[in-house]
Structure 1
């Protein structure tokens, strides 16, 4: 009884044998025939019991296979979701801000002399803190009413823009006055005037810095993105003196 067909044939043979014996039951059967009939019935009962055990075993095996299939299906859906939502900004400690000179607007580009910046000596504040990129998990945790139509890529583009403004500001702020031209000197003095005891040793920008060093529009949409960055604990506000200072955290 190696396969299902053999099992079926075996049962048919047994049943045929029993049927013949039952057909003869109208007449008196010898004791040996009755004994054989009983043996055949017991044999069928034993085979049925084993067959039921085999069916139960196969049912349990099928259940395990279905559970395994469900796990594989979940993994497949997760991988497909990752494939369909590959982020432009892979989560990392810092955003990929270019190391070259940040883009300035036309006024600043005309006033700051590159040859002067190259001769500036390093100071104790040569290190400039940068805002970390928003991870995809953090982006998804932001309430929908706060995100609106701002995409993950657009949010991190503002992060990079703020980092550009911070680097440009503190590059000027740490230079000796004599190494700067008139416009850069005015900027440096403005930066110093905006500092308070709460901002000492910290890095921050104001809206004028965003306009000065980047091409980003400081509008209602920009303010909404700042709310998202505050929610994600990337910056906090310090008000005073008619300014809103956006301090990196």
Structure 2
């Protein structure tokens, strides 16, 4: 019992001591001579906190870069193994290209004229070829001016590119869908898509802010617009303005 009472007294005395220290510090803060020092200490604490935040972002960026380099290294090792395998297994006899011979009078070979080889006609590309934004490489990311990148990382920019590509794919899948098979929602969306087209977007795929909200989980905030500026700097996108809308055109 006596021991418990001593512990309780010690605890109460410790609390009283803490209160006295707090009151003493508060009194110090009211003194004009110390106010300036305390404000400087507060400012230094804020600066240190900002530096720690920058260090944390830099560490995250280095970790992501390291992971990307490891993936690249593994891919290069696989490619190297494939090349080694091809080099060690070159066929001893390669097939020869057969030239088409021109015959005169049905049987005689004209040795004066060079043999004409008919070149295969390349297959025509589909008129509505799907276009995507290529992801940034590390070299391209390092080439972006520091004032544009802010605290953004290589992976964050490529994540946004993937989401934009997703929005483009879903938008133009609806546009290429036969109107007879559209439901009312897709019909309304298609009507909006057509109304947003201009002469500047003719023949190009583009999206607007409404498409980002409709087809992705991205938020069209300040960070998103910074990334759009970076993509324009790398010739991935261009802007076409008009009618109160900003259209992000895939170049």
TM, length-normalised to structure 2: 0.51
The alignment status of 1:198 with 2:200, answered yes or no, reads yes
Q: What residue is the counterpart of 1:140 in the other structure?
A: 142
- What does residue range 55-94 of structure 1 map to in structure 2 within 5 Å? 84=66, 86-87=68-69
For 1:157, the equivalent position in structure 2 comes to: 159
How many angstroms apart in 1 are the aligned matches of 2:243 and 2:178? Answer: 26
User: Distance between the aligned counterparts of 1:89 and 1:162, measured in 2?
Assistant: 23
Give, in whole Å, the separation in 1 of the partners of 2:227 and 2:179. 35
- The structure 1 segments of at least 4 consecutive aligned residues displaced by more than 2 Å after TM superposition are 83-90, 124-127
Give the CA deviation at 1:84. Answer: 3.6
Contact 1:125–1:174 (CA under 8 A) maintained in structure 2: no
Q: Aligned in 2, Cα 1:185/1:125: closer, same or farther, shift over 3 Å?
A: farther
Equivalent residue for 2:113?
A: none
Is 1:180 the equivalent of 2:162?
no
What is the aligned partner in structure 1 of residue 217 from structure 2? 215
Counterpart CA distance in 1 for 2:66 and 2:180 is 54
**Rg larger in structure:** 1
Contact residue 88 and residue 153 of structure 1 kept, 8 A? no
Residues 1:242 and 2:244 are matched in the alignment = yes
Q: Which has the higher contact order (CA 8 A, sep 6+)?
A: 1
CA displacement, residues 169-220 of structure 1 (integer Å, 9 cap, x when unaligned):
0000111211111110000010001111121110000010011000011101
1:1-12 matches, cutoff 5 A: none
Change (3 A) 1:245 1:217: same
- Residues 121-132 of structure 1 correspond to what in structure 2 (within 5 A)? 125-132=127-134
Alignment TM-score, normalising by the size of structure 1: 0.51
Measured in 2, the distance between the counterparts of 1:197 and 1:164 equals 24
Where does the alignment leave 5 or more consecutive residues of structure 1 unmatched? 1-82, 91-123
Does the C-alpha gap of structure 1 residues 86 and 211 become closer, same or farther in structure 2, counting only changes over 3 Å?
A: same
